[in-house]
């Protein structure tokens, strides 16, 4: 099978990428620069290294609505990648960043006649504490999710989709739900798994047979660029819709983790905890972290316990049809690249 080419480049355009200092945001911004775009990046803390790439930088917190709105001025398209992420924190903090920050982006797009808004969402918006095995976008939004991140991302996603083709300006919007993003330069998923395993703080939760989707970061960038292109398509237009994005190759989570550990010279995980006990432990830790106002994230929560023990893989046929999305980097290719990069890292 011949390799799948990168998405075709559109004519040079003025693009805002929020969360440009993050894993997906920086990869996306670099790809846009290579297409000849004028790229404006938004993040909180100064990043001279990103400025050196030729990216015009705006520094603002997502909770700073006027600054977020103003960052949209003069743009043709906005990729809203930034968010407050994590499994722990106050609902108010997540609300300010993820809901109010996204609304400020929507307002800025409307006020400054931005043509397109591509929003980076999460599959966790449909969390229902049950196995999700091959379901599509007809799944309803989750209710009473015991985690403020997916709760606020769902509210923000609804706002983005509702803004599609509404006057004034008739902004075109689409939301993408990439699942468990990994790949070279990953600062989150793979390093955290390795760190916890080396520290002896990783346990198989449940029967260890649950299957999950992962998504290589280059495929996530492809999906964003393809979504922008598809918003101009007369048929199968994705405007006002959300799409699951993954590699389309669900893996047995704990088998994948153990292979990852073996490849990096770390002992496999054998110790187990039942889902019921993990949820009880998570509930206790949530109580203690709240009562004692402990810093950092609890090692376990009810939400994390379910995510580690249950199936969560998705039907991506809608993205294939409407976005012309076809995962370019396979799981095997991504792992080969990851190991090659690890071998050359001092």
Would you list the domain boundaries of the chain? 14-181+214-248+313-328
Residue where the block lists tokens 């991506």: 316
Q: Which of 101-115, 164-178, 183-197 has the highest mean pLDDT?
A: 101-115
What is the tens place of the pLDDT at every residue in 280-335?
A: 999 999 999 999 999 999 999 999 999 999 999 999 999 999 999 999 999 999 99
pLDDT, the chain, mean: 95
- What pLDDT does 167 receive? 83
What is the tens place of the pLDDT at every residue in 44-80?
A: 999 999 999 999 999 999 999 999 999 999 999 999 9
CA distance 234 to 241: 15
The whole-number average pLDDT for the span 85-104 is: 96
Question: Is 259's pLDDT higher than 90?
Answer: yes
With beta carbons less than 8 A apart as the criterion, state whether 227 and 7 touch: no
Residue where the block lists tokens 């909770």: 63
3 state SS of 55: coil
The whole-number average pLDDT for the span 244-260 is: 97
What is the tens place of the pLDDT at every residue in 261-290?
A: 999 999 999 999 999 999 999 999 999 999
Instruction: Kindly state the percentage of the chain with pLDDT values over 70.
Output: 98
CA distance 58 to 75: 13
- What pLDDT does 345 receive? 58
The correct answer on CATH 3.40.50.720 for the domain covering 14-181+214-248+313-328 is yes
Question: Is 10's pLDDT higher than 90?
Answer: no
Query: Where does residue 346 rank: exposed (0-12), middle (13-18), buried (19+ CB within 10 A)?
Result: exposed
- What pLDDT does 168 receive? 79
- Asked if the bond preceding 168 is cis, omega within 30° of 0, the reply is yes
CA distance 115 to 170: 8
Reported as a pLDDT band with limits 50, 70 and 90, residue 9 is confident
Name the residue among 152, 58, 165 with its Cα closest to residue 98.
152
- What pLDDT does 1 receive? 59
With beta carbons less than 8 A apart as the criterion, state whether 311 and 133 touch: yes
With beta carbons less than 8 A apart as the criterion, state whether 143 and 322 touch: no
Reported as a pLDDT band with limits 50, 70 and 90, residue 3 is confident
Would residue 149 show up in a list of annotated catalytic residues for this protein? Answer: yes
CA distance 200 to 196: 6
- What pLDDT does 4 receive? 81
Maximum Cα–Cα distance for the chain, whole Å?
58
User: CB under 8 Å to 267, separation ≥6 — which residues?
Assistant: 197, 261
- Output 83-89 pairs: Cβ under 8 A, ≥24 positions apart: 83/19, 83/120, 83/149, 83/153, 83/156, 84/149, 84/152, 85/149, 86/149, 86/297, 87/147, 87/149, 87/297, 87/298, 87/301, 87/303, 87/304, 88/289, 88/296, 88/297, 88/298, 88/301, 89/148, 89/149
- What pLDDT does 149 receive? 96
- Integer CA distances (angstroms), 83 to 68, 154, 235, in order: 12, 12, 31
Q: Which carries the bigger pLDDT value, residue 344 or residue 103? A: 103
Question: Is 114's pLDDT higher than 80?
Answer: yes
User: CB under 8 Å to 82, separation ≥6 — which residues?
Assistant: 18, 19, 22, 25, 42, 43, 62, 101
Question: Is 344's pLDDT higher than 60?
Answer: no
- Stretch among 20-24, 163-167, 251-255 having the lowest mean pLDDT: 163-167
- What pLDDT does 11 receive? 85
CA distance 79 to 17: 5
Name the residue among 86, 88, 128, 120 with its Cα closest to residue 311.
128
- What pLDDT does 342 receive? 66
Which of the following is catalytic: 119, 141, 149, 243? Answer: 149
For the beta carbon of residue 33, count every other beta carbon within 10 angstroms.
15
């Amino acid at each position: 099978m011949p390799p799948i080419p990168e998405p075709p480049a559109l004519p040079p355009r003025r693009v805002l990428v929020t969360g440009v200092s993050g894993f997906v945001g920086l990869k996306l911004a670099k790809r846009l620069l290579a297409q000849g775009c004028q790229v404006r990046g938004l993040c909180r803390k100064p990043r001279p290294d990103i400025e050196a790439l030729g990216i015009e930088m705006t520094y603002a917190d997502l909770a700073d609505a006027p600054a977020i709105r103003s960052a949209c001025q003069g743009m043709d398209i906005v990729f809203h990648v930034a968010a407050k992420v994590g499994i722990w924190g106050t609902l108010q903090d997540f609300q300010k960043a993820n809901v109010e920050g996204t609304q400020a982006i929507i307002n800025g797009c409307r006020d400054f006649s931005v043509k397109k808004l591509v929003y980076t969402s999460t599959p966790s918006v449909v969390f229902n504490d049950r196995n999700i095995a091959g379901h599509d976008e007809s799944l309803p939004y989750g209710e009473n999710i015991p985690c403020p991140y997916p709760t606020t991302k769902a509210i923000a996603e609804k706002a983005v989709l509702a803004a599609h083709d509404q006057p004034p300006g008739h902004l075109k919007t689409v939301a993408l739900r990439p699942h468990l993003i990994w790949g070279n330069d990953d600062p989150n998923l793979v390093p955290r798994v390795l760190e916890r395993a080396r520290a002896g703080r990783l346990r198989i939760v449940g029967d260890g047979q649950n299957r999950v989707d992962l998504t290589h970061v280059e495929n996530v960038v492809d999906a964003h660029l393809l979504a922008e292109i598809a918003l101009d398509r007369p048929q199968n237009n994705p405007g006002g819709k959300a799409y699951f994005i993954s590699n389309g190759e669900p893996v047995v989570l704990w088998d994948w983790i153990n292979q990852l550990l073996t490849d990096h010279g770390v002992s496999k995980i054998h110790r187990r905890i039942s889902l019921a006990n993990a949820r009880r432990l998570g509930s206790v830790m949530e109580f203690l972290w709240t009562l004692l106002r402990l810093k950092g994230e609890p090692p376990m929560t009810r939400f994390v316990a379910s995510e580690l023990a249950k199936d969560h893989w998705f039907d991506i046929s809608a993205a294939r049809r409407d976005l012309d999305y076809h995962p370019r980097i396979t799981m095997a290719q991504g792992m080969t690249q990851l190991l090659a990069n690890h071998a050359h890292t001092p």
